[in-house]
């Protein structure tokens, strides 16, 4: 008999989430090195009597009464972390509770949201009366936008009607998220001696293109995410002081809204600058969910706020409406002495359950 045969209260589930989170903190799980935390999540589901599947360091499971005729809701978050920055004064791998805070690497991003979603999935696992299936996916490589994370298992999941992606949002409702487009550009000139009037300076051509990138405003503005933002972040040219450079390379970081496809953005840039434009990928697309969607309305009824998020997450890899939401605060992510309040996890579990009850019961 599984532990989920009797439904636990949200408060009890939150305590289970906190205990699992402490174990995750104590286990190093840098991107591509998540074997240890994957094993902990496996062990947790095993104790619950919940069958699961695993591919690399990604683990997913379905509710007991999964019915392929029903639509499916996906609960997803990641168990990889960034490396601790040098400013940590605490042990990043020691789960420390102090003044109502749980300190530790990955506590806020995204251990709190992940463990809260895991116990929320357990809450609904044994319920035979759901109008939707519930799928859980604890995935890897989110912090590096890797190809062996959520993207690796999407085809193993049934069609998803909508997803909740667990990231620290103070349990507010990120109904839209910017996509990311990284462009490597090359301006071409002709080499020559700097002492003579010869050659075509590729740096000057790059400057013209960078000025256009700096000044151009895409006309369509997202009501939730605002305008598209382009930033030149890297530039490299020249080999020695007396040689006119024949190439100048620069990188553009483009934060994209749902108003344009990534292909449209690339084409607009190519039509307006001289340099070659090479996108690194077109995987990280903008994502959104209508404010009218029942899961968003359920959150608004609980007094939460809908907003557009400027940061990217694994939402970008999902081809369905998705809502980013979780306990914790985005500004604590990747900081020294990262922490999450225990009451944030308690409130997060209760809110996840209340919102889903509005939609799938």
Residue ranges and CATH numbers for the domains of the chain are: 10-177+286-358 (3.40.630.10), 179-279 (3.30.70.360)
DSSP state of 94: S
Output the pTM of the full model.
0.89
Q: What is the pLDDT of residue 5?
A: 41
Q: Interior CA angle at 147 toward 337 and 24, to 5°? A: 35
Q: What is the pLDDT of residue 8?
A: 82
Q: What is the pLDDT of residue 310?
A: 84
Residue 233: which residues within 8 A CB-CB, separation 6 or more? Answer: 251, 252, 253
Longest dimension (CA), the chain: 85
CA distance 117 to 358: 16
Radius of gyration of the chain, Cα coordinates, nearest whole angstrom: 23
232 burial level (CB within 10 Å; 0-12, 13-18, 19+): middle
Q: What is the pLDDT of residue 286?
A: 93
CA distances from 295 to 28, 52, 182, 193 (A): 34, 26, 32, 65
Q: What is the pLDDT of residue 7?
A: 66
Q: What is the pLDDT of residue 344?
A: 98
Q: What is the pLDDT of residue 4?
A: 40
Q: What is the pLDDT of residue 312?
A: 87
Q: What is the pLDDT along the chain (361 residues), one digit of tens a residue?
A: 344 444 689 999 999 999 999 999 999 999 999 999 999 999 999 999 999 999 999 999 999 999 999 999 999 999 999 999 999 999 999 999 999 999 999 999 999 999 999 999 999 999 999 999 999 999 999 999 999 999 999 999 999 999 999 999 999 999 999 999 999 999 999 999 999 888 999 999 999 999 999 999 999 999 999 999 999 999 999 999 999 999 999 999 999 999 999 999 999 999 999 999 999 989 999 999 999 999 999 999 999 999 999 888 999 999 999 999 999 999 999 999 999 999 999 999 999 999 999 999 9
How far does Cα 168 stand from its chain's mean position? Answer: 10
CA distances from 100 to 341, 344, 346 (A): 6, 10, 12
Name the packing angle between helices 342-360 and 112-125 (round to 10°): 40
Q: What is the pLDDT of residue 197?
A: 83
Element (H or E) spanning 102, and its range?
strand 101-103
């Amino acid at each position: 008999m599984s532990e989920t045969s009797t439904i636990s209260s949200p408060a009890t589930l939150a305590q289970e989430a906190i205990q699992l989170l402490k174990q995750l903190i104590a286990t190093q799980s840098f991107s591509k090195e998540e074997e240890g935390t994957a094993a902990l999540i496996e062990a947790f589901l095993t104790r619950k009597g919940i069958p699961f599947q695993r591919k690399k360091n990604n683990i997913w499971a379905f509710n007991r009464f999964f019915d392929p005729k029903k639509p499916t809701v996906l609960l997803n978050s990641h168990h990889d972390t960034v490396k601790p920055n040098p400013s940590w004064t605490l042990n990043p791998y020691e789960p420390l509770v102090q003044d109502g805070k749980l300190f530790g690497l990955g506590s806020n991003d995204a251990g709190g949201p992940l463990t809260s979603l895991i116990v929320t999935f357990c809450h609904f696992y044994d319920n035979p009366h759901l109008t939707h299936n519930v799928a859980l996916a604890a995935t890897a490589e989110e912090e590096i936008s890797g190809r062996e994370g959520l993207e690796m298992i999407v085809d193993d999941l049934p069609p998803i009607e909508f997803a909740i992606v667990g990231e620290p949002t103070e349990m507010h409702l990120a109904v839209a998220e910017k996509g990311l487009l990284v462009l490597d550009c090359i301006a071409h000139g002709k080499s020559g001696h700097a002492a003579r009037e010869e050659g075509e300076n590729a740096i000057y051509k790059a400057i013209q293109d960078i000025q256009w990138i700096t000044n151009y405003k895409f006309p369509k503005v997202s009501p939730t995410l605002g305008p598209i933002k382009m930033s030149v972040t890297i530039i490299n040219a020249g080999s020695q002081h007396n040689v006119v450079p024949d190439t100048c390379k620069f990188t553009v970081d483009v934060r994209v809204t749902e108003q344009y496809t990534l292909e449209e953005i690339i084409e607009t840039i190519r039509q307006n600058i001289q340099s070659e434009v090479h996108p690194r990928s077109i995987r990280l697309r903008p994502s959104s969910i209508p404010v009218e969607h029942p899961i968003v309305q359920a959150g608004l009824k609980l007094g939460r706020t809908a907003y557009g998020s400027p940061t990217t997450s694994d939402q970008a890899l999902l081809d369905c409406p998705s809502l980013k939401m979780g306990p914790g605060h985005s500004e604590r992510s990747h900081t020294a002495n990262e922490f999450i309040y225990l009451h944030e996890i308690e409130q997060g579990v209760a809110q996840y359950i209340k919102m889903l009850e509005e939609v799938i019961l």
